[in-house]
Structure 1
């Protein structure tokens, strides 16, 4: 019997792309900070001269899937991380953005056989988003851990 799992030990060869929404950047920049901290502490070269990490900024969460699809064509990534924050308001816009962003990201992942970590916060209030981006816990760290695990797993299976 073979058992396959992602590894956190050899991260130096992982090629990672991060696609991040500028909308709600008070939140998304905190998520990015947590994400980069985790990657660095796990041995991923995040320096500006690194060839192992690319960061792409887009206007909002709805644009995450098309940018993810586009950067996959640019380079051979082992894993992508999408970061965004959609905060519920008084209109149905929230439901549309969350639904279409998640469906689009999933579709790009399946079509390209590349794990894409869905790091889009979907909260009812700005307070909840702040808590999840650093006040209580920075989920950016968790998204980076998921990326390392899934990137190494899929790389070993291919």
Structure 2
């Protein structure tokens, strides 16, 4: 079965019907949910029904690669998006966690040929204060829009290649 994907100002491209999974970290969910909202709004504004998007909450970023692989193996998803905020908790270097997650997501993408997108952010400085939360909420909202556009563009280009 085929479905139509379109973006404003661009021609419509057919892609294999499928759902889109968005993995959302529960760590700092009050901040990360802005990415989810913005992603969904971008997809809907570009002709992708919200009913095709499954939001899957996971404990944190570290759990995302496994969930991405399991979701990709179901055959139900055309794309998977990961959204998280990995912060320096003072005990470990958060860059190692973020790098591990991104590398693992890339491996899943290459092994399964399901496009996987990252909105996993790793700020140098984040404190549980209103000013930082507001800044990163806005930043993640922007990232949600960007990852939505990247998802649409990639689904269209993959459809062109595989048709």
Measured against the shorter chain, the TM-score band is 0.7 to 0.9
Are 1:148 and 2:152 counterparts?
A: yes
Moved more, 72-81 or 109-118: 72-81
Q: Distance in 1 between matches of 2:61 and 2:124?
A: 16
Structure 2 unmatched runs, 5+: none
TM-score normalised according to structure 1 size = 0.82
Are 1:134 and 2:131 counterparts?
A: no
Q: Distance in 2 between matches of 1:55 and 1:125?
A: 27
C-alpha distance after superposition, 1:28-51 (max 9, x if no partner)? 1111011111111111110xxx2x
C-alpha distance after superposition, 1:67-119 (max 9, x if no partner)? 00011122332221111111223232412311211111011000011211111
Q: How far is the alpha carbon of 1:128 from its aligned partner? A: 5.8
Give the match's secondary structure for 1:138.
Answer: helix
Q: Distance in 2 between matches of 1:40 and 1:67?
A: 24
Moved more, 126-135 or 21-30: 126-135
Moved more, 16-25 or 57-66: 16-25
Aligned-pair Cα RMSD in Å: 2.5
Moved more, 114-123 or 129-138: 129-138
Are 1:102 and 2:108 counterparts?
A: no
Map of 1:71 onto structure 2:
71
Q: Distance in 2 between matches of 1:75 and 1:111?
A: 13
Map of 1:53 onto structure 2:
53
Map of 1:3 onto structure 2:
none
